[in-house]
Structure 1
Amino acid sequence: MIPLRRRAALSLPFAALAAPAYAQTFPTRPIRMLVPWAPGGTTDVQMRALCEQAARRLGQPVVVENRSGAGGVLGAQALLTAQPDGYTLSQMPISVFRQPLMNSRALFDPLKDFTYVVHVTGYLFGTVVHPDAPWQDMTQLVEHARANPGKLNYGTPGVGTSLHLTMEQIARNQRIEWTHVPFRGFAENIQSLLGKQTDVLADSSGWSPMAEEGRVRVLATWGNTRAKRFPNIPTLKEQGINIASISPYGLAGPKGMDPAVVRRLHDAFREAIFDPTHVAVLDRYDMIPDHKDPAEYVAFVQQTMTEEKELIDALGIRLS
């Protein structure tokens, strides 16, 4: 009978060889991509285009699974119980980094509970109203809100999202009050605006085609510069509101993933980000590629959480 110590020693070379061999053959089955937003919105369309291009490079399908609601954190939550084998990934909106900053009981630790794979892009956000609305720009909207405290309501894709926090930041900046109405995604948000149940929509650029058709009116975009597709629409900053918001995001998996598998995934998705087919989808929504490798992404998460804590503390927003 082989002594226990000797058996353990004999097993080490095989364990050392197993990880590289696994990474060399990865993937051997479809990869599940969690998208924590409703189907048909900007993120869903962009992520499906990205996953299609990544699948061509990985040799296996990358299947999108929508997990909408809870301000975009349901994908991250699902990673907590997923196997760290590379077959479950999630889009990671910036609301994932805010969740533990706004709750007394954090669902997860963004710096310890995930493996960051690749950073992808950021959104074009905008303030949008019904074409019948009386406001032609942000100045008129703010003046109306100031004269009618709390009576204007605005829709976003959820509590704790960049849209929610930025609208509250605008209110604080302009010394006004308005009422937040959270939805599960863009489809519900835009339906409410078009049906005149809500006065203002704050959301990513799924509204672009409707704006071009005149079905909605865009009062401002939220980037540092004007959107390429909407050169006549001023930014918030140009209208006297010194705020910019693009809410950058990327992809992550469960903690403890094999570095070689992470590298394989990163390389495939990096190529997919810059594939002309995917870039064309980004152009459609006035988004731009913003690649970061895993190390750069982790550093970005650390910096973002520091900055977000300062903003959340200043706004006094707490969910629990």
Structure 2
Amino acid sequence: MPHDPAPSPTAPALRRRTVLAAAAASALVPFGTARAQAFPSRPITLIVPWPAGGSTDRHHRLLAELASKHLGQNVIVQNQPGAGGTLGPGSMALTAKPDGYTISQYPMGMLRIPHMQKTQWHPLNDFTFIMGVSGYTFGFVVRADSPYKTFNDYVEAARKQPGKIDYGSTGIGTSPHLLIEEVAEAAKIQLNHVPFKGNADQMQALIGGHVMAASDATGWDKFVDAGQMRLLLTFGETRTKRWPQVPTAKDLGYGVVSTSPYGLVGPKGMDPAVVKALHDAFKKAMDDPRHAEVMEQLNQQVWYRTGDEYRAWATETFAKDRQLIEKLGLAAK
């Protein structure tokens, strides 16, 4: 005699099986992936460690706007100047959660200041490297009515008045500072360095006649093009397309070349999936035609690096720049 068919499961039993199956399936999804799928669920803060209005600020405000479209959340720029561009990222490393909602521009000063003074953060161990972005065109400017028509005029004045001829930079240990100190050492002159928080206050000081000259990235471009300032020198491998008549330090025999690459970082310990979400959004922002336009305005080149490539470069540069700091007599005692 055939067996009666097994009784059908009750509705509660079916529901219970469905819940258990869903739970089992979700357990197979890595926790990091689940978090990344929910990221971002609120606005992201991008720290720009320079005052508003300078070349770095202009660049990152556009990057933030473009990346916001790909992330589906606003990226809000927070200016946090100070300590030669290291206050913002340094504070982030010490206080921000590694959840991807606070990231920062990472200037080269981060790899130099620790050789010059004690810091509470380590430039490599306390950060997650997201991507390399760009580098600067550095230049040396004076007011249009300055008696220094060429960089050699400025050098000759310093030879006649050691320590009396001054210049401003965006802070102790920044590339604009160290570039001129390298040139001064090569020219065997002694200059008076005046540090500022960033481009905006330095440009105001130069326009106001409070300093004789200024070393900085291309935040001076609009003043040069408007005839308010004279560009005496740039520090690229070759002359710029925008100001081809202006010699490089290399042209003048000083052998000092720098673009000071920078990128984006977060606190140490970030979820790789969250890092990838940020990297991919900002990479799409860098590929946008509007980004190419601002790069041309600032006379900057794209310097794209993956997070791993950026960390490797930073590790190598940190070791190499110790020698530069020691050579210039700026190493911590």
Report the TM-score range of the alignment, normalised by the length of the smaller protein: over 0.9
| 1:118 counterpart residue number | 131
- Displacement of 1:276: 0.8
| 2:9 counterpart residue number | none
**Selected match of 1:294 from 300, 304, 307:** 307
2:95 match: secondary structure:
coil
| 1:190 counterpart residue number | 203
- Displacement of 1:16: 6.3
Does the 8 Å CA contact 1:100/1:107 hold for their aligned counterparts? no
Q: Which amino acid aligns with 1:173?
A: A
Q: Deviations over 1:144-170 (max 9, x none)?
A: 111110011101111111111111111
- Displacement of 1:25: 2.2
Percent identity of paired positions between Structure 1 and Structure 2: 44
TM-score normalized by the length of structure 1: 0.93
Does the 8 Å CA contact 2:51/2:79 hold for their aligned counterparts? yes
Q: Which amino acid aligns with 2:196?
A: F
| 1:83 counterpart residue number | 97
Q: Which amino acid aligns with 1:86?
A: G
Q: Deviations over 1:173-224 (max 9, x none)?
A: 1100010101111111111111111011101111111111111000011111
C-alpha separation in 2, matches of 1:110 and 1:228 = 34
Structure 1 stretches lacking a partner, 5+ long:
1-9
2:125 match: secondary structure:
coil
CA-based RMSD of the aligned residues comes to: 1.6
Q: Which amino acid aligns with 2:268?
A: K
Does the 8 Å CA contact 1:30/1:87 hold for their aligned counterparts? yes
Structure 2 stretches lacking a partner, 5+ long:
1-22
- Displacement of 1:296: 0.3
| 2:224 counterpart residue number | 211
Residue 40 of structure 1 pairs with residue 53 of structure 2: yes
- Displacement of 1:274: 2.0
Does the 8 Å CA contact 1:68/1:74 hold for their aligned counterparts? yes
**Residues 38 and 15 of structure 1: is their aligned pair in 2 closer, same or farther, counting only changes over 3 Å?**
farther
Q: Which amino acid aligns with 1:214?
A: G
Q: Which amino acid aligns with 2:73?
A: Q
- Displacement of 1:319: 5.7
Kindly name which structure, 1 or 2, has the bigger radius of gyration based on alpha carbons.
2
TM-score normalized by the length of structure 2: 0.90
1:237 match: secondary structure:
coil
| 1:247 counterpart residue number | 260
Q: Deviations over 1:95-120 (max 9, x none)?
A: 011121111x2221111100000100
- Displacement of 1:127: 0.6
Does the 8 Å CA contact 2:115/2:332 hold for their aligned counterparts? no
